[in-house]
C-alpha cells in the first residue's frame, strides 16, 4: 500500500480511540496514580473538558477505595451508572415536542455545527453530497459542514467553500471532481511551506531533539520510528528516557532501542527527568553521536508543576550547549481534534516548537486538524504516523494529504 493510499484509508476511518484507550490503560494489573492520570487525560482528549475529567478521576478513586475494587470494568460500570443518573435530568422526550397545535420549531446555530445534518442529513460524505446534478447553495453548505466535521475549523471550511464557488463560476465548471481537483491543487500549494524535510533534521553536529506532548499521543513510539529512520539514513542515534514518571515508558523505549540497535540513557523511576536529558546530551556530544532523541513524560497542559519540569529539561540542555535543544518536536494525536490546538498553544509558551508530528492518521476521519494547525500557528509538519509498524512514519506530503482529505484518487 502506497503512502497516498494510507492517507486515504486513514482519513476515511472513524475513530474508536476512546474505547481503545481504556483498553490500553487498564491492561496493567495495578491501578496506580500513573494509570489514573492516563485515564484523566483520555477523558480530556474526548473533549469532555478538564473539570469533568477531574470529577471522573475522583469518582474512580472513590469507587476503588470505598468498594475495595481493583477491577477496572467493575469501576467503569459504577461510573457509567452514576453518570447516567446525573444525565437523566437532561433527557427530553422527542415525542413530546411539538404537542401544541401547529408547533413551530426553530433550529439555530453557527455554520458548520450540523444544523442541516441534524435535520436529516447525518453521515453524508463527498460522494453523497455531489450525487446531485446541480451544485447549489444546499450542496455547498453540506460541503462546508463536512470540512468542519474533519476538524479543519470554520475559517478553513469557509475558505474552501469560497474556493469551490469561485472555481465553479470562473472556470464555468459543474463537475465536482474537476472542482475538487482544483481545490486540492490550491490546498497543496498553500501547504507546501509546511513540509519539513525529515532528512534535514539533526544536521548540526550532535543534534539534540526533545520530543514532547501529552500522554497517549505516541511520543515513545514516534521516537522509535524516528530512530529507525535516522539509522536507515546512516546517522548515529542515542535515546534518552526522560519520561521517568512511568516505568512502562522506559521499558517501551528500551524495547525500541534494542530493535533499532541504538544506545539508551535511562535512570530510576521517579528520578529527575532533567538529569536524564542532561546525561543524554552529554553522551551524544562526548561520543560524537549525530542525533539524541529525548523522550519526555506526557504533560497535561493544565498541570503547572509538570510544565515547570519540562522547562527545566530545556534549561539544563542549554548548559551543555546554548544551541540545545536543536529541535523541539510536539507530537499530536489526530483523533483529539480541536483539542490539539490547545496543546500547541500551551507548549509554545514554554519553548519555540520547531515542528510537529501528527500521529494516528490511520484511525481518524479528522485529518482536517492539520489545516487548522497550519493556518493558526504556521508550524511545519515533520512527519505523520500512519500505523503501528516501525516503517509507518512518513514525511508530510502536501499533495498527498490534500487529495486524500478531499477523497480524490492519486
Q: What pLDDT is recorded for position 283?
A: 96
Quote the DSSP letter at residue 246.
-
Q: 122 falls in which pLDDT band (50, 70, 90)?
A: very low
Q: How many domains does the chain have?
A: 3
User: 280 with 146, same domain?
Assistant: no
Each residue's pLDDT tens digit, 283-301: 999 999 999 999 998 766 5
For residue 32, tell me if it sits in a domain. Answer: yes
For residue 177, tell me if it sits in a domain. Answer: yes
Quote the DSSP letter at residue 195.
B
Q: What is the CATH number of the domain that holds 56?
A: 1.20.120.140
User: 265 with 376, same domain?
Assistant: yes
> Closest Cα partner for 60 from 44, 78, 42?
78
For residue 175, tell me if it sits in a domain. Answer: yes
For residue 283, tell me if it sits in a domain. Answer: yes
User: 153 with 228, same domain?
Assistant: no
Question: Residue 376: CB partners within 8 Å, gap ≥ 6?
Answer: 153, 341, 344
3-state SS, residue 162: helix
Each residue's pLDDT tens digit, 150-208: 888 888 889 988 888 888 777 776 677 788 888 889 999 999 999 988 887 777 678 99
**Contact (Cβ atoms closer than 8 angstroms) between residue 331 and residue 359:** yes
User: 246 with 344, same domain?
Assistant: yes
For residue 291, tell me if it sits in a domain. Answer: yes
User: 358 with 211, same domain?
Assistant: yes
235 pLDDT more than 70: yes
Q: β-strands 327-333, 393-395: how paired?
A: unpaired
C-alpha grid cell, residue 381:
509538519
**pTM exceeds 0.95, yes or no:** no
CA dihedral 16, 17, 18, 21 (to 10 degrees): 130
Q: What is the CATH number of the domain that holds 301?
A: 3.40.50.300
Question: Residue 49: CB partners within 8 Å, gap ≥ 6?
Answer: none
User: 354 with 205, same domain?
Assistant: yes
User: 145 with 278, same domain?
Assistant: no
What range defines the domain where residue 185 resides? Answer: 115-194
Which of 169, 194, 219 finishes a domain? 194
**Contact (Cβ atoms closer than 8 angstroms) between residue 370 and residue 360:** no
88 pLDDT more than 60: yes
Q: What pLDDT is recorded for position 120?
A: 33
User: 356 with 217, same domain?
Assistant: yes
Each residue's pLDDT tens digit, 37-81: 777 777 766 666 667 778 888 888 887 776 666 677 777 787 787
User: 278 with 131, same domain?
Assistant: no
For residue 372, tell me if it sits in a domain. Answer: yes
User: 266 with 154, same domain?
Assistant: no
Which of 194, 213, 242 finishes a domain? 194
For residue 109, tell me if it sits in a domain. Answer: no
For residue 124, tell me if it sits in a domain. Answer: yes
133 pLDDT more than 70: no
User: 260 with 386, same domain?
Assistant: yes
Q: What is the CATH number of the domain that holds 154?
A: 1.20.120
Q: β-strands 381-385, 393-395: how paired?
A: antiparallel
**Contact (Cβ atoms closer than 8 angstroms) between residue 362 and residue 11:** no
Each residue's pLDDT tens digit, 336-360: 878 889 889 888 888 889 999 999 8
Q: What is the C-alpha separation between 107 and 272, in angstroms, rounded?
A: 55
Mean pLDDT throughout 79-97? 73
Which of 150, 170, 194 finishes a domain? 194
97 pLDDT more than 90: no
User: 360 with 228, same domain?
Assistant: yes
Q: What pLDDT is recorded for position 179?
A: 82
Amino acid at each position: 500500500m502506497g503512502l497516498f493510499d494510507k492517507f486515504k484509508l486513514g482519513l476515511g476511518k472513524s475513530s474508536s480511540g476512546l474505547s481503545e484507550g481504556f483498553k490500553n490503560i487498564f491492561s496493567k494489573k495495578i491501578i496506580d496514580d500513573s494509570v489514573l492520570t492516563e485515564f484523566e487525560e483520555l477523558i480530556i482528549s474526548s473533549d469532555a473538558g478538564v473539570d469533568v475529567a477531574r470529577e471522573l478521576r475522583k469518582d474512580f478513586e472513590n469507587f476503588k477505595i470505598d468498594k475495595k475494587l481493583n477491577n477496572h470494568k467493575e469501576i467503569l460500570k459504577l461510573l457509567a451508572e452514576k453518570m447516567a443518573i446525573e444525565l437523566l435530568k437532561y433527557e427530553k422526550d422527542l415525542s413530546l415536542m411539538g404537542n401544541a397545535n401547529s408547533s413551530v420549531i426553530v433550529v439555530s446555530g453557527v455554520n458548520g455545527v450540523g444544523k442541516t445534518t441534524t435535520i436529516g442529513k447525518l453521515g453524508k460524505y463527498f460522494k453523497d453530497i455531489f450525487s446531485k446534478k446541480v451544485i447549489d447553495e444546499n450542496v455547498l453548505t453540506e460541503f462546508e459542514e463536512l470540512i468542519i466535521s474533519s476538524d479543519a475549523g470554520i475559517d478553513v471550511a469557509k475558505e474552501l467553500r469560497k474556493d469551490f464557488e469561485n472555481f465553479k463560476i470562473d472556470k464555468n465548471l459543474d463537475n465536482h471532481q474537476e472542482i475538487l481537483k482544483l481545490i486540492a491543487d490550491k490546498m497543496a500549494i498553500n501547504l507546501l511551506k509546511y513540509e519539513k524535510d525529515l532528512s534535514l533534521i539533526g544536521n548540526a553536529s550532535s543534534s539534540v531533539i526533545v520530543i514532547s506532548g501529552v500522554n497517549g499521543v505516541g511520543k515513545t513510539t514516534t521516537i522509535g520510528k524516528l530512530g529507525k529512520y535516522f539509522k536507515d539514513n546512516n546517522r548515529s542515534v542515542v535515546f534518552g528516557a526522560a519520561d521517568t514518571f512511568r516505568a512502562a515508558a522506559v521499558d517501551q523505549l528500551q524495547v525500541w532501542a534494542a530493535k533499532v540497535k541504538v544506545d539508551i540513557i535511562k535512570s530510576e523511576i521517579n528520578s529527575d527527568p532533567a538529569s536524564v536529558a542532561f546525561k543524554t546530551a552529554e553522551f551524544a556530544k562526548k561520543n560524537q553521536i549525530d542525533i539524541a532523541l529525548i523522550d519526555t513524560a506526557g504533560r497535561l497542559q493544565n498541570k503547572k508543576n509538570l510544565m515547570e519540569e519540562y522547562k527545566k529539561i530545556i534549561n539544563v540542555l542549554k548548559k551543555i550547549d546554548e544551541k540545545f535543544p536543536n529541535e523541539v518536536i510536539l507530537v499530536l494525536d489526530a483523533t483529539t481534534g480541536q483539542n490539539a490546538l490547545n496543546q500547541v498553544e500551551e507548549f509554545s509558551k514554554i519553548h519555540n516548537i520547531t515542528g510537529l508530528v501528527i500521529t494516528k492518521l490511520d484511525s481518524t476521519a479528522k485529518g482536517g486538524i492539520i489545516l487548522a494547525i497550519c493556518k493558526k500557528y504556521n508550524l511545519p509538519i515533520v512527519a505523520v504516523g500512519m500505523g503501528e509498524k516501525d516503517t509507518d512514519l512518513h514525511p508530510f506530503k502536501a499533495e498527498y494529504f490534500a487529495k486524500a482529505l478531499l477523497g480524490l484518487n492519486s
